[in-house]
Structure 1
Amino acid sequence: MPVRTVPLRAVTALVLLCAAALAGCGGTGNDRTVTVLGSWTGAEGDAFREMLREFEGDTGIDVRYSGTRDARAVLASELHDGHPPDTAVLANPGDLRAYAADGHLRPVGSASRGIAAGPTTATGPDGGRRPYGIVLKASVKSLIWYNPDTLPEGLADRLNDPSVTWDDLASAVSETGDAPWCLGLEDTSQSGWPGTDWIEDLLLHLSGPEVYDAWVSGRLAWTAPEVRRAWEEFGTVLRGAHEGNGGVLLTGYGEAGQWMFADPPGCRFDHAGSFIPAFYAQAAQRPRPGRDFDFVPFPGRGTVEIGGDLLGMFRDTPAARALVEYLTSEEAQRTWIERAGSGAYSLNREIPPDDYPDDVSRRIAGLLAGAETVRFDASDSMPGVMAAAFNHAVLEYAADPAAERLDAILTALDKVRRTTEFDA
């Protein structure tokens, strides 16, 4: 029987576990069991369970995972009842910060490491700022997709030039047809967010990370010129968007880009995250990455917006700490890449772009790894009340993207900002 080599990080996690609770090593009870509540089901749930099996085999700790699409509501209920899971996947950094401020979350120490640790830092009930979670996997949002067969010759190469600006892109896009942009704002769980992604990328790339950070943290008014310009540019996108089967308000975000593959094409460009190829694959033409669709980075090379799934620790046990330590490791993160599909990206710098399964995903990984500035999705990072108002405002603006209407929208959003408590 071959001898199994235990990964070094798993050994470290086990040593930490034993050092923290000598009585628990080899024993029973909470020191040998950790519960995880998450939102992953289907293929994502299977990939996560594969990660957990490796951890269980290396440490002897039993991991009990509960996967449900209602994880956010289930977590709130369990916290209310006083019986939270040891760890849970959180919907966004805004939830992480709220739970940290309320004293529900436990600091994770130095376990959070990678390309961008900012989303996991929060202010605790004592006023101190420290890491309260980890980013398990990320999606890259600053991408603009296209169908090579529908673009004028040489245009994709021009748009891939690192020096290209937003104005260059907007001018080139306007020359490709009456409705160059694919856009759908409908989502069964939370319509509007594809529009917030647009405004976030525009503000980040046009005005820079300092302005973006001030806006996300509530220090910059929604009526500020930089914010207004981002909305105005989004207005040009709205006016140049393909109407789909019922307008952008009724078109699903995953459906919108499929019009790129129609004959003739309904639109030419789709602003969407790294998760979108899974939706393209559902088109009747069965398009394939690199051949039938590709991407260019959002103008402003070196700056990337991401989303992601975070995990927080609600019960500070040795087993929970060992799991948190393991889930950011190279061996655990590689499982996401191999099992969870091309939409999953690791923030662990030990995972090189060459480890991704195809050329398109390798180039996205390279974009993320080489970025000088990485920022988390703004609406996901804002307090829930502010994020909800942002989503609603996008839908309102999409219904009537007139300049005079925008004044009222931004004024209303700033009123919410002034009455909302942001994380310091």
Structure 2
Amino acid sequence: MRLTRHRRWAAPVAVAAAVGLALTACTGDIASEDAGDVDCADYEEYGTFDGAEVTIGGTILDLEADRLVESWSDFATCTGISVDYQGSSEFEAQIAVLAEGGNAPDIGIVPQPGLLQRLAAGGWLIPASEGVEANVDEWWSEDWKNYGTYDGTFYAAPLMASIKGYVWYSPAEFEDKGYEIPATLDELTELSQTIADEGEHKPWCVGLESGEATGWPGTDWVEDYMLRLHGPDVYDEWVTHGIPFNDPQVAEAFDAVGEYLKNDDMVNGGIGDVSTQITEAFQTAGLPILDGECSLHHQASFYETFWNPEGGDENTVASDGTVFAFLLPPVNADDPLSVTGGGEFPVAFRDAEEVEAVRTYLSSDLWANNRVSLGGVISANKGVDPENASSELLVQSIEILQDPETTFRFDGSDLMPGAVGADSFWKGIVAWVSGDSTESVLDTIEASWPSS
């Protein structure tokens, strides 16, 4: 998935963050005492509103929620729109019920194209305005626009993004032990076996727990292997059910992942045996690297935030820092660069000028640069300056997303119908890690695919 699925960033508690700012018009050099030192020249195009309020809901919590709120604080000051954000780890499970009951927020930050399609099919979404669409046409690729489109109608622009398939490690350990960054999947297997044979600790640390979404980190592993082993065309067939979920090619990807996740020699470093993957929270699963209790952790670019859980900066993310990451390698060293990733989409449940003003800002290069500069995230917006990113890794991630030669595929489970991508696939990962066979798990997931 995708927290992006910022389900992936979601902690098990809800966070509310509100910005209620000056309701006076701001243009050019601000004279308003409330506006302080804010220069509103960049925000004039969004208009001014007297007493307008916009509510936003999503899965983004904790430090990331604070940074999200900060990213629109100047916009709120200059436009007079009071923006109230409410984050919840249950947002994805609840938003359709809220929409059906007429209680949805004005804007919902949806981390799954599949969920967006479900909400659109229910008739609850407001199509995107001309301003939002113009921004997407200028700053985003056609693929990203298509993720926010349902049945020919464009509903939402992308927001942030993430690159999946990073393998986090300690540069100091690699230097001390003479480990090389693997260039192929076979070399990754060799490295993992070397670490296991040395006997100091298990090579990999893994956490699959995420509340109702437990299992999703395992789906990311499978998606990465599907793309690398079989290429983008087969990947596309898989996520659209052009091939069944129990196709031999899917089984091959599962079994390749199983060489790690179902192997007591490989996991779960610093945590326990194979079974502890299911109870270890994804947010904390990589931290044993900091204590030298494991060497490798598979998680997306957004995991940078979790290396300093208290919000400090004692653990640096750099090639010569405390931790860094390399992309899960291809089958062959000279294969084209292929990555999976995720993102969010701010959908609208209320038709109002102030709502579309907020959504237009969120789809702009101005917002993307503002948010990236605050740290911890990336964007696929082509107007983002990579140097605004908060680490060497995130600069690299933005450059990968902006490179026209990169083969990018959205997180597969996020594209699948909810009954699969947000249910049977997650549950299947848990059952599989718990000991069920690949064949039985894939047959069960295949049987859950909606007939229409």
For Structure 1 versus Structure 2, the TM-score category normalised by the shorter chain is: 0.7 to 0.9
- Distance in 2, matches of 1:158 and 1:48, equals 34
State yes or no: 1:407 paired with 2:435. Answer: no
State yes or no: 1:173 paired with 2:208. Answer: no
TM-fit CA distance, 1:69:
4.0
Check conservation: 1:100, 1:122, Cα contact below 8 A.
Answer: no
TM-fit CA distance, 1:153:
6.7
Q: How does 1:184-333 map to 2 (within 5 A)?
A: 184-238=207-261, 239=263, 240-243=265-268, 244-246=271-273, 247-262=276-291, 265-282=292-309, 287-290=315-318, 291-300=321-330, 302-333=337-368
State yes or no: 1:364 paired with 2:397. Answer: yes
Give 1:325's aligned amino acid: T
Q: Which 10-residue stretch deviates more, 80-89 or 113-122?
A: 113-122
Give 1:114's aligned amino acid: W
TM-fit CA distance, 1:255:
2.9
Give 1:308's aligned amino acid: G
- Distance in 2, matches of 1:415 and 1:81, equals 31
The aligned residue for residue 117 of structure 1 is: 144
Give 2:299's aligned amino acid: A
Check conservation: 2:55, 2:83, Cα contact below 8 A.
Answer: yes
Check conservation: 2:165, 2:299, Cα contact below 8 A.
Answer: yes
Task: Give the direction of change, closer, same or farther, for the CA distance of 1:223–1:84 in structure 2 (3 Å limit).
Answer: closer
TM-fit CA distance, 1:118:
5.0
Task: Give the direction of change, closer, same or farther, for the CA distance of 1:382–1:2 in structure 2 (3 Å limit).
Answer: closer
Q: TM-score, normalized by length of structure 1?
A: 0.82
Check conservation: 1:304, 1:368, Cα contact below 8 A.
Answer: no
Check conservation: 1:192, 1:394, Cα contact below 8 A.
Answer: yes
- Distance in 2, matches of 1:214 and 1:11, equals 45
The aligned residue for residue 47 of structure 1 is: 67
State yes or no: 1:394 paired with 2:426. Answer: no
Task: Give the direction of change, closer, same or farther, for the CA distance of 1:323–1:241 in structure 2 (3 Å limit).
Answer: same
Say which SS state the counterpart of residue 139 (structure 1) adopts. strand
- Distance in 1, matches of 2:438 and 2:156, equals 37
Task: Count how many residue pairs are aligned between Structure 1 and Structure 2.
Answer: 390
- Distance in 1, matches of 2:314 and 2:212, equals 26
> For 1:191-240, what per-residue CA distance to the aligned partner results, in whole angstroms no more than 9, with x for missing partners?
11111110011101221122112111222211222211110101111214
- The match for 1:81 among 93, 101, 115 is 101
- Distance in 1, matches of 2:171 and 2:50, equals 60
TM-fit CA distance, 1:314:
1.6
- Distance in 2, matches of 1:64 and 1:249, equals 34
State yes or no: 1:348 paired with 2:381. Answer: yes
Check conservation: 2:413, 2:425, Cα contact below 8 A.
Answer: yes
The aligned residue for residue 8 of structure 2 is: none
Give 2:184's aligned amino acid: T
Give 2:58's aligned amino acid: G
- Distance in 1, matches of 2:279 and 2:49, equals 56
- Distance in 1, matches of 2:177 and 2:390, equals 27
Check conservation: 2:196, 2:266, Cα contact below 8 A.
Answer: no
- Distance in 1, matches of 2:153 and 2:91, equals 25
> For 1:352-381, what per-residue CA distance to the aligned partner results, in whole angstroms no more than 9, with x for missing partners?
211112323222322332262222211122
Give 1:292's aligned amino acid: T
Check conservation: 2:222, 2:253, Cα contact below 8 A.
Answer: yes
TM-fit CA distance, 1:60:
3.6
Task: Give the direction of change, closer, same or farther, for the CA distance of 1:55–1:286 in structure 2 (3 Å limit).
Answer: closer
> For 1:18-64, what per-residue CA distance to the aligned partner results, in whole angstroms no more than 9, with x for missing partners?
xxxxxxx7777xxx443323344443333233333322333344434
TM-fit CA distance, 1:407:
1.4
TM-fit CA distance, 1:83:
4.3
- Distance in 2, matches of 1:278 and 1:260, equals 15
- Distance in 1, matches of 2:357 and 2:117, equals 22
The aligned residue for residue 58 of structure 1 is: 78
The percent identity for this pair of structures is: 26
TM-fit CA distance, 1:332:
1.3
Check conservation: 1:183, 1:241, Cα contact below 8 A.
Answer: no
- Distance in 2, matches of 1:282 and 1:40, equals 15
- Distance in 2, matches of 1:122 and 1:181, equals 38
Task: Give the direction of change, closer, same or farther, for the CA distance of 1:156–1:13 in structure 2 (3 Å limit).
Answer: farther
Task: Give the direction of change, closer, same or farther, for the CA distance of 1:71–1:98 in structure 2 (3 Å limit).
Answer: same
Give 2:289's aligned amino acid: M
TM-fit CA distance, 1:99:
0.6
Say which SS state the counterpart of residue 211 (structure 1) adopts. helix
Task: Give the direction of change, closer, same or farther, for the CA distance of 1:324–1:282 in structure 2 (3 Å limit).
Answer: closer
- Distance in 2, matches of 1:409 and 1:73, equals 23
Task: Give the direction of change, closer, same or farther, for the CA distance of 1:190–1:71 in structure 2 (3 Å limit).
Answer: closer
> For 1:69-125, what per-residue CA distance to the aligned partner results, in whole angstroms no more than 9, with x for missing partners?
4434553443233243322122422210101111111221524342551563343xx
- The match for 1:147 among 148, 170, 173 is 170
Q: Which 10-residue stretch deviates more, 131-140 or 193-202?
A: 131-140
Q: Which 10-residue stretch deviates more, 36-45 or 217-226?
A: 36-45
- Distance in 2, matches of 1:2 and 1:326, equals 17
Q: Which 10-residue stretch deviates more, 81-90 or 231-240?
A: 81-90
Task: Give the direction of change, closer, same or farther, for the CA distance of 1:3–1:287 in structure 2 (3 Å limit).
Answer: closer
State yes or no: 1:376 paired with 2:410. Answer: yes
